[in-house]
């Protein structure tokens, strides 16, 4: 079954990382999942705010908090990928150019938002 975050972040595409068994984020996975669950709760809270006709500024402040929380999760994953997958590719001389190109592409996408 496809994960909601996979659908949102990758639009349902399978990435190279999903195709191999090791994940550079394995040791921080529990923390990431906890953060995402909190974000999920925040988003539900924002929906309830809209349903109860809360003041626009209050809703916008909560949306900014959600955006910041997602940004922090993304930074953690980006750091984990860089310190894990990219360093591994460079150390083992295994597709280092491709990994760096991939990293730069992700950074470009990440900084657009």
What are the residue boundaries of the structural domains of the chain, listed by start?
A: 28-112
Measure CA 59 to chain center.
Answer: 23
Query: What pLDDT does residue 41 have?
Result: 98
Interatomic CA distance for residues 33 and 50, integer angstroms: 26
Interatomic CA distance for residues 8 and 82, integer angstroms: 22
For residue 91, pLDDT over 70 is answered with: yes
pTM higher than 0.85 for the full model? no
Question: Architecture of 28-112 per CATH?
Answer: Up-down Bundle (1.20)
**HSE-up (13 A, CA, CB side) for residue 16:** 10
Percent of the chain with pLDDT over 90: 70
Query: What pLDDT does residue 45 have?
Result: 98
Query: What pLDDT does residue 17 have?
Result: 44
Structure tokens at 18: 């999903």
Query: For residue range 25-46, what is the model confidence (pLDDT) as tens digits?
Result: 999 999 999 999 999 999 999 9
């Amino acid at each position: 079954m496809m994960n909601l975050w996979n659908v949102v972040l990758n639009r349902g595409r399978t990435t190279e990382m999903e195709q191999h068994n090791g994940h550079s984020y394995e040791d921080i996975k529990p923390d990431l999942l906890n953060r995402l669950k909190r974000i999920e709760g925040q988003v539900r809270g924002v929906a309830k705010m809209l349903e109860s006709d809360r003041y626009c500024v209050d809703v916008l402040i909560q949306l900014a908090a959600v955006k910041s929380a997602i940004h922090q999760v993304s930074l953690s994953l980006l750091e984990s990928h860089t310190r894990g997958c990219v360093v591994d590719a460079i150390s083992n001389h295994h597709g280092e150019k491709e990994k760096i190109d991939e990293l730069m592409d992700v950074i470009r996408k990440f900084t657009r938002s």
